[in-house]
C-alpha cells in the first residue's frame, strides 16, 4: 500500500540530512526500536518490538539507504521478519526542501505486509502504518530539537 | 495451531490480580472471556508468559440499577447484554449492538469488559458506550477511577487504562423519557467486522433536537464522535433537511484511512449512507 505525507521540521536541511544517517537519532525515532547497529554508512540492522492490540511481535530486519542525492533526497528501504507472525517490507523516498524557518520533509512510501499479520490485519494496515509513520516523524522531530544530536556524521 | 506455552493463574480478588500482574513484569495479560487473547496466541501474534484469569472476581459481575446509572459489570457476556431486560430498558444501544457482535458461540463467552479494554476500532460496543456518554469504572493498585468514554478510547487499540489496571464496570447514565436511539452497521456478512457503523441517540424538546450524540466505528483508529453532525442536528426538528446536513458534516468529522482495496472516500460515502438510514429510522419512531 502507498503512504504519502510531509512533515515540517524546525532544523535546516543540512542538519536534517545528517540526522537521517545518524544511528543515535534513528534509534530514537524508530517506534519500538530495541537495537540498531550500523554496518556501513548506508546499512543498518534493527530489532523492533511492536505492540498493537492483539499483536505483539519482535521484528528483526535490515534498513538500507540508497539513491542518495546529498542534502536533497534518498530512498530508505527496510524489511523485517517477525517469525511466524509474518513479515513487513517497505521503501520510502524521502525528499528535503528548505523552508523559511526549517525544512519540509516529504515521503512517498510503499509498504507490504505478509504472513499471518496480513491475513488477520489487512483491515487495519492503513491505520497501523499511519500510526507508526506519525510516531517515527514525531520522534525524529523531537530528536532534532536537541542540538547535540544534530552533528554531522 | 496450538498455543505457545504460558502460565495460567486464576485471581480470586482484584488485589491478587494486580499482584500477579506486577510480578510478571509486564509480560502478563488479563483473561476474561478469552475470545481475543486466546486466538491471537494461537496465531502466535502474541505470546505473554502469563494469563491472569479475572473471571471469578465478584466486583466484575452483575447488572444493577444504582442512583443515576445502570452499572454493568465488566464480566457481563455479550449474550447477557443481548438478553438483559435492564440493559434493554436503560442502555438500549448495547442491546441493539449485541446482535452484530460476532456469532452466538462467541457471544456466550466474550465479555463487554474484554471488548472495551481491547478497543478494536471496528467493534460495536466502544461506539455504543461513547454514544451513551457512559463512564468506565477502572480499578488499580492506586485506587478507583471513573473515566468518561470520551477520554477512554485514545488510539488504535489504545485506551486510558494503565498497565495493571482492570476495567471493572460500565456506568450508563439513565436516559430521560422519549430519548430516540439508533444503531446499525454495514458488514459484508453478518458477524464480520463492520465496514462502517453508527450509534446515535437524540433528546427532543418542543419538536426540536435538544441534544444529539452521534458516534461511528470502523472509520478510523478508534470510535469517533461526530461533533459536526451533532451540531447539524441540534436546534432543528429531525427531518430530511437536518439529516442531510448531518450527512454532509461527516466530511468534517471523519478522516478514514486508505486501506488496501478500501479507499477512504468509499468508507466516507458508506458512513453518510448509514447515518442517513439510522437517523431516518429515528425520525420515523418519534
Domains B7-53 and B58-173 share a fold: no
Determine contact, residues A19/A149, Cβ cutoff 8 Å.
yes
Greater pLDDT, B213 or A71: B213
Identify the band that residue A149 occupies on the pLDDT scale cut at 50, 70 and 90. Answer: very low
A126 with B257: Cβ contact below 8 A = yes
* Torsion (CA) B231, B235, B237, B243 in degrees, nearest 10: -10
- For B118, name the nearest residue in chain A, comparing CA atoms only: A53
Does B257 lie at the interface with A, CB-CB under 8 angstroms? yes
- For B258, name the nearest residue in chain A, comparing CA atoms only: A126
Provide the CATH topology of domain B7-53.
3.30.43
Does B120 lie at the interface with A, CB-CB under 8 angstroms? yes
Rounded to the nearest angstrom, the minimum Cα separation between B225 and chain A is 18
Q: Give the nearest partner residue to A128 out of B37, B46, B156, using CB atoms.
A: B156
Determine contact, residues B178/B187, Cβ cutoff 8 Å.
no
Provide the CATH topology of domain B58-173.
3.30.465
Q: Taking the model in full, what pTM does it have? A: 0.87
On the 0-12 / 13-18 / 19+ scale of CB atoms within 10 A, B90 is: buried
Inter-CA distances, B239 with B236, B269, B282, Å: 8, 20, 10
Determine contact, residues B156/B220, Cβ cutoff 8 Å.
no
| Binding-site residues on chain A for chain B (CB distance < 8 A) | 1-2, 52-57, 83-85, 116-117, 120, 122-128, 130-131
Q: What is the pLDDT of residue A147?
A: 55
- For A1, name the nearest residue in chain B, comparing CA atoms only: B260
- For A54, name the nearest residue in chain B, comparing CA atoms only: B40
Residue owning grid cell 438510514: B277
Instruction: Kindly state the average pLDDT of the residues A72-98.
Output: 87
Inter-CA distances, A112 with A77, A125, A136, B32, Å: 12, 9, 18, 34
Per-domain residue ranges of chain B: 7-53, 58-173, 180-285
A85 with B262: Cβ contact below 8 A = no
Average pLDDT, consecutive stretches of 10 residues, N- to C-terminus, chain B (286 residues): 91 97 93 93 89 97 96 98 98 98 95 96 96 98 97 94 96 97 95 93 96 96 96 97 98 88 92 98 93
Rounded to the nearest angstrom, the minimum Cα separation between B257 and chain A is 6
**Conformational region of residue A115, where left means phi above 0, alpha means psi within -120 to 50, and beta covers everything else:** left
B119 with A53: Cβ contact below 8 A = yes
Determine contact, residues A114/A27, Cβ cutoff 8 Å.
no
Inter-CA distances, B150 with A66, A153, B80, B170, Å: 45, 46, 25, 13
Instruction: Kindly state the average pLDDT of the residues A72-79.
Output: 90
Q: Give the nearest partner residue to B156 out of A83, A116, A131, using CB atoms.
A: A131
Q: Which CATH number is B180-285 given? A: 3.30.390.50
Q: What is the pLDDT of residue B111?
A: 98
Greater pLDDT, B258 or A95: A95
CB-CB neighbors (< 8 A) of A56 in chain B: 45-48
**Terminus-to-terminus CA distance in chain A, angstroms?**
32
Mutate to test the interface with A, among B28, B34, B35, B43 (most CBs of A within 10 A): B43
Residue owning grid cell 457471544: B107
Domains located in chain A, CATH noted: 2-144 (3.30.530.20)
Rounded to the nearest angstrom, the minimum Cα separation between B239 and chain A is 34
Rounded to the nearest angstrom, the minimum Cα separation between B284 and chain A is 34
B45 with A57: Cβ contact below 8 A = yes
Q: What is the pLDDT of residue A101?
A: 86
Size of interface A-B (CB pairs under 8 A): 67
Amino acid at each position: 500500500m502507498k503512504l504519502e505525507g510531509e512533515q515540517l521540521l524546525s532544523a535546516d536541511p543540512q542538519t536534517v540530512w545528517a540526522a537521517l544517517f545518524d544511528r543515535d537519532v534513528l534509534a530514537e525515532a524508530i517506534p519500538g526500536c530495541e537495537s540498531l547497529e550500523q554496518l556501513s554508512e548506508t546499512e543498518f540492522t534493527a530489532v523492533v518490538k511492536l505492540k498493537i492490540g492483539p499483536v505483539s511481535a519482535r521484528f528483526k530486519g535490515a534498513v538500507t539507504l540508497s539513491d542518495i542525492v546529498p542534502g536533497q533526497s534518498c530512498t530508505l528501504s527496510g524489511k523485517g521478519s517477525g517469525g511466524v507472525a509474518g513479515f513487513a517490507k517497505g521503501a520510502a523516498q524521502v525528499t528535503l526542501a528548505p523552508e523559511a524557518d526549517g525544512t519540509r520533509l516529504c515521503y512517498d512510501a510503499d509498504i507490504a505486509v505478509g504472513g499471518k499479520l496480513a491475513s488477520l490485519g489487512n483491515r487495519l494496515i492503513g491505520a497501523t502504518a499511519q500510526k507508526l509513520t506519525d510516531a517515527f516523524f514525531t520522534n525524529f522531530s523531537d530528536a532534532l530539537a536537541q542540538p547535540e544530536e544534530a552533528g554531522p556524521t | 495451531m496450538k498455543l505457545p506455552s504460558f502460565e495460567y493463574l486464576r485471581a480470586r480478588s482484584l488485589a491478587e490480580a494486580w499482584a500477579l500482574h506486577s510480578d510478571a513484569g509486564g509480560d502478563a495479560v488479563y483473561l476474561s472471556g478469552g475470545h481475543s487473547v486466546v486466538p491471537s496466541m494461537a496465531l502466535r501474534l502474541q505470546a505473554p508468559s502469563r494469563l491472569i484469569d479475572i473471571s471469578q472476581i465478584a466486583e466484575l459481575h452483575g447488572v444493577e440499577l444504582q442512583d443515576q446509572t445502570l452499572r454493568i459489570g465488566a464480566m457481563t457476556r455479550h449474550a447477557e447484554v443481548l438478553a438483559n431486560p435492564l440493559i434493554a430498558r436503560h442502555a438500549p444501544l448495547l442491546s441493539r449492538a449485541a446482535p452484530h457482535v460476532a456469532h452466538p458461540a462467541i457471544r456466550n463467552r466474550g465479555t463487554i469488559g474484554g471488548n472495551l479494554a481491547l478497543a478494536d476500532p471496528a467493534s460495536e460496543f466502544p461506539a455504543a458506550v461513547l454514544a451513551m456518554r457512559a463512564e468506565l469504572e477502572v480499578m488499580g493498585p492506586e485506587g478507583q477511577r471513573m473515566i468518561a468514554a470520551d477520554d477512554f478510547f485514545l488510539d488504535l487499540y489504545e485506551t486510558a487504562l494503565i498497565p495493571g489496571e482492570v476495567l471493572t464496570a460500565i456506568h450508563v447514565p439513565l436516559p430521560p423519557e422519549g430519548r430516540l436511539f439508533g444503531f446499525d452497521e454495514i458488514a459484508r456478512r453478518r458477524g464480520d467486522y463492520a465496514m462502517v457503523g453508527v450509534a446515535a441517540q437524540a433528546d427532543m424538546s418542543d419538536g426540536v433536537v435538544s441534544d444529539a450524540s452521534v458516534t461511528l466505528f470502523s472509520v478510523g483508529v478508534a470510535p469517533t464522535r461526530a461533533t459536526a453532525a451533532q451540531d447539524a442536528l441540534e436546534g432543528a426538528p429531525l427531518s430530511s433537511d437536518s439529516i442531510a446536513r448531518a450527512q454532509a458534516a461527516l466530511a468534517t468529522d471523519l478522516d478514514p484511512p486508505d486501506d488496501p482495496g478500501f479507499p477512504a472516500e468509499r468508507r466516507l460515502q458508506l458512513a453518510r449512507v448509514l447515518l442517513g438510514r439510522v437517523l431516518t429510522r429515528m425520525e420515523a419512531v418519534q
